[in-house]
Amino acid sequence: MPVRYTRRTLLKSAAAWPLIHVSPLHARPPPAETITPALIAAATKEGQLTWYTSADLQLAEKVGKAFKQKFPGIRARVERAGDERIFARVAQDTPPVSICPMP
Is a pLDDT exceeding 90 seen at residue 98? no
Q: What is the pLDDT of residues 37-58, one digit of tens each?
A: 998 898 899 898 888 888 888 9
pLDDT at 71 over 70: yes
For residue 31, being part of any structural domain is answered with no
Position 20 scores a pLDDT of 54
Residue-range definition of the domain harbouring residue 72: 48-94
Structurally, the chain folds into a number of domains equal to 1
% of residues, the chain, pLDDT over 70: 75
Look at residues 70, 69, 71 and name the one whose alpha carbon lies nearest to residue 45. 71
How far is Cα of residue 78 from the mean position of the Cα atoms in its chain? Answer: 18
Judge whether 76 lies within some domain.
yes
Q: Is the pLDDT of residue 8 over 80?
A: no
**Residue 6: inside a domain, yes or no?**
no
> Considering the domain boundaries, does residue 32 fall inside one?
no
Within-domain flag for 3: no
Establish if 52 belongs to a structural domain: yes
Residue spans of beta strands (DSSP E) within 1-103: 48-53, 75-80
Would 10 be classed as within a structural domain? Answer: no
pLDDT at residue number 65: 92
Identify the pLDDT of residue 91: 82
Higher pLDDT pick, 78 / 27: 78
